Structure 1
């Protein structure tokens, strides 16, 4: 789960090591893609180029609240067109969720970094992917041709780790 039953990421799911890893990763990408309810809220956030998925527009539009953001409705335009509008025609795109957004790109990821916090339970919470909890996130990633790499410990006290899942060659 990536949020509680109110669709809010609770404090018990926030770990300093995970935040540091996430922030550093976003500082290295060329474009961030997310749904309208996701936002990383970090000091560098206003400087990052982004595409925000929304059904409030027909296709692609500038975001009136942020000159670095492009609004995109996948029903009206391609992902490539949205990236071009955002000024990102090459490089790395970070998809930061939620489940509908993650699900749209399952067959396109080159790499997906899955963080786990095994001691946190969010009953009735927002799953990370469509199909969870009937299937585990790991099973879903594997079913889409991704293979787990070596996990990295982010917070030893709480056993929080992140595992890279990479596309099979």
Structure 2
């Protein structure tokens, strides 16, 4: 198996990915970021997320995915979602889950929520952190388990990742995306994906 692990999230200025109801508000949705995210997932061989993190894009039904759940013992075909495998990490490893989903190589896109992101902290080759500094979500859901006690930057750095060059996704709202690379990668294996202006 040869996988490249990539994380994707957009956060508010206070490090939140959702509001106090665990819902991503419209204030955190930007066309530039949505385009970037959709293009990235179109390239991925496998998507990994929890029950509340489905991306809901036009190509979503075509994508192979692992959906984390405690409702099954280990692995099962999801009867409700096309191309999806239900995965309980307590009953099966990621390698077993990806094999069950018939995916053995390529980019694995981790798209949340916080517990799912944290499961892969030691495996990310790149974590794409989109930030919306004009948005604040007091009492919201932190993007990682350690937020807001730590900033998203501190959490990523604490797991051996370092930031690359930020790219502007929405100039009017100062929204950027920054790739965080594994420190022991002297040269990032690929560049920031091109996005349309």
TM-score normalised to structure 2 length: 0.85
Q: Which aligned segments of 4 or more residues in structure 1 are displaced greater than 3 angstroms?
A: none
Counterparts of 1:19-34 in structure 2 under 5 Å? 19-34=34-49
> Which sections of structure 2, spanning at least 5 residues, go unmatched?
1-15, 185-197
**CA shift at 1:104, angstroms?**
0.6
Residue in 1 aligned with 2:116?
Answer: 101
Residue in 1 aligned with 2:137?
Answer: 122
**CA shift at 1:168, angstroms?**
1.3
Return the match for 1:47 from 62, 66, 87: 62
Give the SS at the match of 1:2.
strand
Give the SS at the match of 1:114.
strand
**CA shift at 1:67, angstroms?**
3.8
Give the paired residue count. Answer: 169
**CA shift at 1:65, angstroms?**
1.2
Residue in 2 aligned with 1:63?
Answer: 78
Aligned-pair RMSD on alpha carbons?
0.6
> Which sections of structure 1, spanning at least 5 residues, go unmatched?
none
Structure 1 CA distance for aligned equivalents of residues 124 and 143 of structure 2: 15
Bigger proportion of residues as strand? 2
TM-score normalised to structure 1 length: 0.99
The one of the two structures with greater contact order (alpha-carbon pairs below 8 A, sep at least 6) is 2
